[in-house]
């Protein structure tokens, strides 16, 4: 592997990101269709461990996994007016089966509301059939017209986790929105991804939703990235799809629905946020390889060292640790460099001196600190280090994030922050669409929406919207976005 001396995450993020995700073999960007990428084995493992976390969180809160078809008939896809309006410019159409033109065109799902809800109608009869809480992790297709970017804006989203719920009352649906926010908060907390939660302005909500709540993180170049969304669909789809249930009095009522989703952007975020100029840094929980063992070989002592390495390998593997023994015929320095670049959280070095002393040398990737410990202590030391690395990465990421959030009052300051200071500006806002659009125009940044996160900034209630001068208790988050 070539030396990557020029990696500069903060000053040239785009190059850093492209180099890291391709050269550590997460994905291959050379597939000959724009916006479609290949997951390579190292990346696929990372993806799997990330998905294990969200699966656990959903399964533990009563969600059940399902799998719906990729194809949706045109008439069903068009049932909800706002939804089709929002998505028609973004769908891939299937028009032929072999040589025959299809009578009914089909779309490749850009999301599965319409596919699922046409079936929910058949599943739901009485209040006893509710709630329904299901999710699937699938690929979807969106013909994105903005520039595509691996993992961040793709046309085949390969890792779309979409959850869909159905409830009897609006209150139940509201409760579900809160649960979804809690689940995503836990998910991003486990991954050490900092986020701000906001309610999207109406002009930016999901097509067909009553309102949308989003999680945004901040990338090293100062642009925010939407990493998850939670939508309250009200009865919009229930009316379009005739999803009704018989209540206790025997009356037919329309159901209330929510949906929430994440994608491979989450993986883009963990790579971008925790990495440094040496390359990726993976949290032990999701690292494809958690511990790498590098033998330090001197002539004449090869056998002893290799034997000790194998013993350590077996012991760690036995404990369920994802461990790799690097026996390649290249210098240890080269191996160090390589595994640091690939983000392996812990390296174990074993040389003749270590063998003689019954010890190993351990280097942690996040701080590059070295320690030695006896073979007896090794497993405990590694487990403790896993926790410490995780806590350190999370703390570091949140500190960096908080430093780049600025509470201001004037649009001039907002503009300065989003244009030159790579940050998120918080400014009072009356929550009116018209004022939001004016703010957006004046500062040349996006209005993410009204901040819902607690503890990000205080409001007194005496704030005024910079456009209409009305008093407000709300703050808008504004940033350049992906």
> How near is the Cβ of 87 to ligand PR8 at its closest, in Å?
9
Q: In whole angstroms, what is the distance from residue 430 CA to residue 201 CA?
A: 11
Residue (230 or 362) nearer to ligand PR8, CB:
230
Q: In whole angstroms, what is the distance from residue 400 CA to residue 424 CA?
A: 12
Residue (215 or 313) nearer to ligand PR8, CB:
215
| β-pair type (475-481, 223-234) | parallel
Residue (259 or 271) nearer to ligand PR8, CB:
259
Q: In whole angstroms, what is the distance from residue 72 CA to residue 49 CA?
A: 30
> How near is the Cβ of 101 to ligand PR8 at its closest, in Å?
29
> How near is the Cβ of 265 to ligand PR8 at its closest, in Å?
4
> How near is the Cβ of 477 to ligand PR8 at its closest, in Å?
15
By CB under 6 A, name the binding residues for ligand PR8. 111, 113, 142, 144, 153-154, 157, 162, 206, 226-229, 231, 259-265
Residue (209 or 451) nearer to ligand PR8, CB:
209
CA 200 to chain centre: 18
Residue (158 or 392) nearer to ligand PR8, CB:
158
Residue (135 or 401) nearer to ligand PR8, CB:
135
Q: For the purposes of burial, counting CB atoms within 10 Å of the CB of 203, is it exposed (0-12), middle (13-18) or buried (19 or more)?
A: exposed
> How near is the Cβ of 110 to ligand PR8 at its closest, in Å?
8
Q: Which two tokens stand for residue 137?
A: 């992790």
Q: In whole angstroms, what is the distance from residue 56 CA to residue 452 CA?
A: 25
> How near is the Cβ of 72 to ligand PR8 at its closest, in Å?
13
Q: Coil, helix or strand for 252?
A: strand
Residue (22 or 481) nearer to ligand PR8, CB:
481
Q: Which of 448, 459, 382, 371 is nearest to 414 (CA)?
A: 448
Q: What are phi and psi of 77, to 5 degrees?
A: -60, -30
Beta bridge partner(s), residue 450 = 199, 476
> How near is the Cβ of 215 to ligand PR8 at its closest, in Å?
8
> How near is the Cβ of 419 to ligand PR8 at its closest, in Å?
24
Residue (16 or 260) nearer to ligand PR8, CB:
260
> How near is the Cβ of 225 to ligand PR8 at its closest, in Å?
8
Residue (29 or 253) nearer to ligand PR8, CB:
29
């Amino acid at each position: 592997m070539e030396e990557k001396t020029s990696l500069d995450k903060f000053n040239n993020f785009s190059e850093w990101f492209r180099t890291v995700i391709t050269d550590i073999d997460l994905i291959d960007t050379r597939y000959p269709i724009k916006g479609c990428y290949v997951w390579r084995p190292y990346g696929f493992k990372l993806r799997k461990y990330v998905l294990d976390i969200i699966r656990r969180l959903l399964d533990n809160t009563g969600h059940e996994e399902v799998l719906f078809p990729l194809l949706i008939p045109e008439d069903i896809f068009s049932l909800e007016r706002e939804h089709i309006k929002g998505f028609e410019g973004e769908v891939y159409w299937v028009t032929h089966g072999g040589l025959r033109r299809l009578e009914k065109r089909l779309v490749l799902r850009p999301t599965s509301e319409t596919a699922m809800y046409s079936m929910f109608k058949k599943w739901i009869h009485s209040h006893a059939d509710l709630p329904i809480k299901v999710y699937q992790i699938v690929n979807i297709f969106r013909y994105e017209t903005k520039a595509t970017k691996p993992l961040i804006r793709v046309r085949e989203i390969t890792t779309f986790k979409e959850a869909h719920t159905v409830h009897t009352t609006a209150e139940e649906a509201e409760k579900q929105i809160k649960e979804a926010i809690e689940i995503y908060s836990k998910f991003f907390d486990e991954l050490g991804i900092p986020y701000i939660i906001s309610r999207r302005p109406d002009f930016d909500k999901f097509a067909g939703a009553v309102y949308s709540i989003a999680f945004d993180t901040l990338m090293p170049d100062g642009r925010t990235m939407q990493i998850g969304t939670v939508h309250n669909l009200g009865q919009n789809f229930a009316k379009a799809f005739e999803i009704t249930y018989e209540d206790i009095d025997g009356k037919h009522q329309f159901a209330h629905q929510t949906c929430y989703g994440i994608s491979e952007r989450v993986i883009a975020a963990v790579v971008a946020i925790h990495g440094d100029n040496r390359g990726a840094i993976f949290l032990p929980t999701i690292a494809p390889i958690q511990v790498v063992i590098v033998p330090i070989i001197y002539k004449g002592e090869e056998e002893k060292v290799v034997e000790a390495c194998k013993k350590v390998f077996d012991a760690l593997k036995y404990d369920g640790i994802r461990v790799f023994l690097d026996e390649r015929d290249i210098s240890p320095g080269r191996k160090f460099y390589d595994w640091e670049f690939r983000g392996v959280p812990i390296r174990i070095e074993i040389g003749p001196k270590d063998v003689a002393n019954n010890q190993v040398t351990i280097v942690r990737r996040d701080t590059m600190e070295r320690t030695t410990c006896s073979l007896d202590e090794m497993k405990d030391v590694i487990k403790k280090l896993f926790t410490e690395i995780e806590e350190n990465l999370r703390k570091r990421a949140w500190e960096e994030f908080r430093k780049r959030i600025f509470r201001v009052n004037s649009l001039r300051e907002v503009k300065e922050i989003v244009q030159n200071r790579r940050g998120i500006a918080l400014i009072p806002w009356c929550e009116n669409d018209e004022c939001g659009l004016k703010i957006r125009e004046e500062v040349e940044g996006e209005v993410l929406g009204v901040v819902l996160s607690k503890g990000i900034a205080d409001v007194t209630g005496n704030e005024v919207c910079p456009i209409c001068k009305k008093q407000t208790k709300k703050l808008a988050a504004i940033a350049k976005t992906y």
